[in-house]
Amino acid sequence: MTTIASNLQAVRDAIDAAAVKAGRFASEVKLLAVSKTFSADALREAYHAGQTCFAESYVQEALNKIAALQDLTIEWHYIGPIQSNKARAIVENFSWVHSVDRLKIAERLSEQRPTHLPPLQVCLQVNISMETSKSGVSPDEVSALAHAIAKLPGLTLRGLMAVPAPSDDGAAQRLPFMQLRKLLDQLNQQGLQLDTLSMGMSHDFAAAIAEGSTIVRIGTAIFGNRNYGEKK
């Protein structure tokens, strides 16, 4: 087995174990391979090891890989910052966007989604740890934004996404994930029908799964450490 294939297997095993421990089915948790900074060849290797969902954070870098991997059936997810002049490239090339945090951007994505494609699947990014440096809508603004976005025809609002402040302590890791789950529950009580909690990365996905994560976004544990200097 290649390193990527064996890393993927280890991640899948750890997801299974975390799900069992939480009394959940591993099939309820979708594994997104976060491939930013890694080459198209690395993605191809992961694909041949059974991985079909990939996430990218930079539009131009992603477009290069999408073009290079046209022969594969990949579901592409966008998880990076959204500049309005990149909205068209995003809606033409991705199935999902996890990082929507403003109505203006959501409206633009909806308007520009090509009509021959199904609606763009979106999550609202929530600034759950309330760090000023992080993107995401603040928890008290989630409800108004979610209800507005749910009305846009080119989008299907699926749920919430968060990148909490890093912590090494399992119990501390669970707190922001629990808060995100409660926010999702509130939205559903208000009549929305949301089924997605996009939460958990390489260092904290077990805690996220314990709190109900349905999509984990994992890069380092699959591909190794990122080297931003050699970004492709």
Work out which of 65, 113, 181, 217 binds ligand PLP, going by CB under 6 A. Answer: 217
Please tell me the chain's helix, strand, coil percentages from 3-state DSSP, rounded to the nearest 5: 45, 15, 35
Q: Does 210 bind ligand PLP (CB under 6 A)?
A: no
Residues 58, 9: Cα–Cα separation, whole Å: 26
Work out which of 79, 123, 145, 157 binds ligand PLP, going by CB under 6 A. Answer: 79
Residue 58 or 63 with smaller CB distance to ligand PLP:
58
Written as six digits, the tokens of 200 are 């958990």
Stretch that binds ligand PLP, among 1-9, 114-122, 132-140, 216-224 (CB under 6 A): 216-224
Residue 81 or 147 with smaller CB distance to ligand PLP:
81
Residues 33, 37: Cα–Cα separation, whole Å: 12
Which residues 6+ apart lie within 8 Å of 163 measured at CB?
125, 134, 136, 201
Q: Does 219 bind ligand PLP (CB under 6 A)?
A: yes
Q: Does 145 bind ligand PLP (CB under 6 A)?
A: no
> What is residue 119's DSSP assignment?
P
Residues 206, 188: Cα–Cα separation, whole Å: 24
Q: Does 159 bind ligand PLP (CB under 6 A)?
A: no
State in angstroms the smallest separation of the CB of 232 from ligand PLP.
Answer: 15
Chain residues in the site for ligand PLP (CB under 6 A): 34, 36, 57, 79, 163, 201-203, 217-221
